[in-house]
Every structure is written in structure tokens, then in C-alpha cells.
Amino acid sequence: ASTSPASTSPASASPTSASSDLLFPLCTCPGPLLSGQLICTGNTSQCTLDQLGVSVCCAPGQKAVSGKCVDLPIPGILCTDGKTICSGKTQCTQDNKGAIMCCGLNQNAINDGRTICSGNTPQCCTNVSIFVDSTGGASSNTICCGVGQKALNGKCYPGNAKLLPCYRDGPCDFGNGYYCAWNAGNGDSKCCKMDEYYKGTQCIKKP
């Protein structure tokens, strides 16, 4: 019986350059990928959980908020919804529908379901009107103003301006001695000086 020599294949036993040659530290953590893992490396090598329990790759020393990395300390106030960050001269404010947004100090948040404010006029303000609506109360709508402003007669004014809504020439500059005078004859209104009353179409000096 002839025995054939054992077949020997060329040794491909060159040592495998394993992942020990990585140039950056590497972190593997639970994540949203199909593999079920998120691999963090490079300048964002830190696996960080945000407030919703989602893994995010951040730089060492950063914090994850709503899927994004922010430097510590957080540049502002993290609101109770866990995702809104208010900074500068703004504060966390809850609107009439329970949503959180950033408003100027001492301001209220209002959601009318229609108006969307952004950019240089991010503040939703209730526009106070002199007119009466079908309910018998003063009609109002929502307009966009800058942070710290208020709305009167369909326009935005500084929040500390002493103004009164009025039909003609409104709003009235109460800070400079004007008020909204009503015409008893026809229910019209006009801005008059404090020592005047409104009759016909004119402001008349009080006797």
C-alpha cells in the first residue's frame, strides 16, 4: 500500500495585525445600528447616554442631550422636558398646551396652533386688540416678536414700553402723557392727551 505524503499548503501564517494598531481609543456601546452596537472612535471616542437613554458618540468630557453633544457646563438651563436648553436672557416656559420653549424673563408662552415663530422673532406674543370679538371680549391673535418684546395693535414694541391699545393712532404712548379716549357718540377711540377728551373727530381740551 502506497502512502501519499500529507498535503501541505503554504503557510499563510503571517501574524494578523490586530486592532491593537488603532490610532485612537475605541468604545463599543449599545446603539441604534443594525448590529446593535455603536462604535465610537476618533475625537468622539466617548460613548455617552443622553437623557432618553440613547447612546451618542461624544468627545471626552461632553454631555449628551437629545442626541447631540454639548460641552460642560451646559451653556444655559436644561428645561424639565430634558431636551430644551435656554440661554442668554431667556428662561424655560411652558405654553398653554404643555410644551416647553425659551421665553424672555417674565414672559408667557402661548401656542395658537397656527403661528410659527423663529429667527429674529422667536417669541409668540398675544396681540392685544381694541376690538371686540363674537364672545364679547377683546379680540386677540398671536404674532411673532423679538425676545423681550410685546405685541399691541398688530406690531411689536419693547417690553417695558408704556403703551395702550387704541383704534385711531394706536397704540397710545401713555409714558408721554397720552391715553385712549373713547367717543361717547359712536364708540370710536383715539389717542388724546391726558387733559383732552374725544368728541367728533378731534381731541378737545378739557374745561
User: What's the pLDDT score for residue 200?
Assistant: 86
Query: For the whole model, what pTM was predicted?
Result: 0.42
User: What's the pLDDT score for residue 177?
Assistant: 94
Average pLDDT on 73-88 reads 75
The alpha-helical segments, DSSP class H, found in the chain are none
User: What's the pLDDT score for residue 205?
Assistant: 93
Report the range of poorest mean pLDDT among 49-53, 66-70, 112-116. 112-116
User: What's the pLDDT score for residue 131?
Assistant: 67
User: What's the pLDDT score for residue 74?
Assistant: 65
Per residue in 122-135, pLDDT (tens digit) is 777 878 777 666 66
User: What's the pLDDT score for residue 2?
Assistant: 46
Q: Kind of pairing, strands 149-152 and 155-158?
A: antiparallel
User: What's the pLDDT score for residue 27?
Assistant: 60
* Burial of residue 195, with CB atoms counted within 10 A of its CB: 0-12 exposed, 13-18 middle, 19 or more buried: exposed
Per residue in 6-22, pLDDT (tens digit) is 444 444 333 333 343 34
Greater pLDDT, 193 or 78: 193
The pLDDT mean for the chain works out to 75
Q: Where are the domains of the chain?
A: 24-72, 162-207
User: What's the pLDDT score for residue 133?
Assistant: 64
Question: Rounded to whole angstroms, how far apart are CA atoms 101 and 109?
Answer: 7
